[in-house]
Structure 1
Amino acid sequence: MFNNPEQFANATKTLFDLQMQTFNALATKAVQGVEQVVALNLATAKQSMENTLEASRQFSQAPDPKTAIDALQARVQPGVTEATAYGEQLKQIIGDIKSEFEQAADTHLAEAKNTLSALIYDVTQNVKPGQENAVEIIKAAIENAFKGYEQVTQSTRDAMRRVEEEVARATERLKAAQSQAPTSH
């Protein structure tokens, strides 16, 4: 068992530091992903605005109504194609974030497991008669901390999986819309 309160404090600090490193790594990955999505959205908005201005110019300069309608219809297919490309890019970004996130979580989870195993080993060494209950309480606290750590990691994985599934569904809807869009004459 810990021979003095300083050992227990150091063990607790190590566990806390490990949790903070994991949360910092995961938060960094999340922020990087948000930055990528924002960049994609800005580029898409800019392209969309340029396309809308060009379509408006063609519409307003059309010599007759049929030419104006043809110009608008000619913009439908490229718009759907661009939306599909956006969906694919978003799907790729989300997939990359998920992969990096899981890799960081797995690495930190393995480190946490090793650290906690060492802490439990330290707790169970040199147990003096009458301290068995204290050892069990400390072991339970360490194991519960690790279970909480695993649960947070799993919840995050589940959330990332749900986001990835939603992006995949949206991309499939865009592809379906693309296949049903009228083609230009």
Structure 2
Amino acid sequence: MFQNPEQFANATKTLFEFQLETFNTLTNRAMQGVEQAVALNIATARKALDEQIEAGRKVNASVTPQEALDVINARLQPGMAATNAYNQQLGALLSEMSNDFHKAADAHLAEAKSNLSALIYDVTKNVRPGSDNAVEIVKNAIENAFKGYEQVTQATRDAVTAFEQQVEKANAASKK
């Protein structure tokens, strides 16, 4: 068991810092994804606005109503293609972000399990006779902290999955 409370405090601090590092890694990746999605949205909106202005100029320059309708109809097909391209780019971005998220979470979870095993070993290696109850209390506390860590990681995964499903629904609705 730990020779003094400082060892336990340091081990607990290390585990807590690791959890913060994991949270920061996942949060940073999420923010990068949001930045990429915003940049995609701005570029798409800018392109659509430019195309609308150009189409408006052509409609305005039209001599006959049929010519104006032809300009408007010609604009519809590329607009649908642009929507599909946007949906594909956004889908690829979200898929990449999700994969990165899951890889990072899995890597941090594996490292946390390894750290937990080492921590439990440190707790139990120098146990004095009659300290079994104290060891069990410490082991349970460490394992419960890790279960909390796993729950946070799973909740994050669930949130990413729910977000992806909402985007897929929005994409499907826009295709219709």
Which TM bucket (shorter chain)?
A: over 0.9
Where 1:3 maps in the other structure, the secondary structure is coil
Aligned: 1:109 with 2:109: yes
Question: 1:130-141 maps to which residues of 2 (within 5 A)?
Answer: 130-141=130-141
Identity of aligned residues (%): 56
- Distance, in Å, in 2 between the alignment partners of 1:163 and 1:74 is 35
TM-aligned CA deviation for residue 128 of structure 1: 2.1
Residue aligning to 1:183: none
- Superposed displacement of residue 13, structure 1: 1.2
Please say if 1:13 is aligned against 2:4.
no
Distance 2:174 2:70 in 1: 22
1:136 shift after superposition: 1.5
Query: What residue in structure 2 maps to residue 180 of structure 1?
Result: none
Structure 1 residue 170 displacement after superposition: 2.7
Larger mean Cα displacement after TM superposition, 164-173 or 35-44: 164-173
Question: Could you say what the CA RMSD is over the residues aligned between the two structures, in angstroms?
Answer: 1.3
In structure 1, distance between residues paired with 2:162 and 2:27:
18
For structure 1, which runs of at least 5 residues remain unmatched after alignment?
178-185
Distance 1:72 1:98 in 2: 39
Query: SS state of the match for residue 39, structure 1?
Result: helix
Say whether 1:2 aligns with 2:40.
no
Give 1:93's aligned residue.
93
- Does 2:154 correspond to 1:154? yes
State the Cα distance separating 1:121 from its structure 2 match: 1.3
The one-letter code of the counterpart of 1:173 is A
Equivalent residues, number: 176
Provide TM-score, normalisation by structure 2. 0.94
